[in-house]
Amino acid sequence: MTCKPLIGLNADYRAAARSTPAFSYIAAGYFQSILSAGGIPVIVPPMDDPDSIHTILDQLNGFLLIGGADLDPRNDGFMLHPSVRPLDPIRETSDRLLMADIAERRMPLLGIGTGMQLLNVQQGGNLFLDIKEDLPSAVPHLDPQDPSHRHTLNVESDSLIGRVYGDGEIRVSSRHHMAIDEVAPGFRVTARCPDGVVEAIESEMMDWFALGTQFHPECNAASALDVRIFEEFVDGVREHAAQDLRLVA
Ligand SMILES: N[C@@H](CCC(=O)NCCCC(=O)O)C(=O)O
């Protein structure tokens, strides 16, 4: 595939409040990173009709599931925890429909933050609902005073994330209080914070190019290395699209 691949991005949703009407939005870092990496971002608003989601995915070559508030654990059979601030149900319903269809068709996927957590639970893994309670010796993964809060990262060298960051000290941007507990079957952990918290997962399935980062390579303070994650993703999307074309030719 020589032309630019079309990459879908799910938009966030905020319900109407007092004098503000409901609105949908996306942090610019997500679509700017796709643009810089050579893809064309296509922002998909929340939708609750599986057929409409199917129709829009038919037009796309890959998908980036973005970060945001928390998945509601009750949707996965767990109890609500006091620290959980759930996504608006309008976004969560749409994200879950997108995720199920993306997985079914093995569309190339990058999940970031909540997007990675959704990938993990939809594929059969589960989450710690609150790092402070579940992993009391963990370093801070969220600093409400500093949206660019960073911590170091240990990577598996034989992985996409390992290829991107190479040797040397790595510092990544972190904004979360939940984390992966059990990793979904078919995925492996390719980066951890030195405290053990899972920071990246990658598909081991031959027929699915899918990865997720708990950290935020799209943030304002992203490094040149962070940007390489999007380049690797867009290259993978291109390769997948080229294979599909060869199969139908
Ligand atoms: N449920 C998560 C959220 C992690 C996350 O995606 N943070 C980014 C929020 C900012 C954004 O919208 O990009 C958690 O574990 O806290």
20, β-bridge pairs: 17
Q: Is 113 in the pocket of ligand 1 (CB under 6 A)?
A: yes
What domains, with CATH codes, occur in the chain? Answer: 6-248 (3.40.50.880)
- Label residue 56 by pLDDT band (50, 70, 90): very high
- ipTM passes above 0.90: yes
Which pairing describes strands 6-10 and 62-65: parallel, antiparallel, or unpaired? parallel
CA-closest residue to ligand 1 atom 13: 67
- Asked if residue 7 lies in contact with residue 61, where contact means CB atoms within 8 angstroms, the answer is yes
CA-closest residue to ligand 1 atom 15: 178
The per-residue pLDDT for range 2-36, each reduced to its tens digit, is 689 999 999 999 999 999 999 999 999 999 999 99
3-class secondary-structure state, position 216: coil
Tell me, what's the pLDDT at 2? 63
Q: Which numbered atom of ligand 1 lies nearest the CA of 178?
A: 15
Q: Which numbered atom of ligand 1 lies nearest the CA of 12?
A: 12
3-class secondary-structure state, position 209: coil
Of 13, 4, 56, the C-alpha closest to 34 is 4
CA-closest residue to ligand 1 atom 16: 176
Distance 177 CA to ligand 1 centre (A): 8
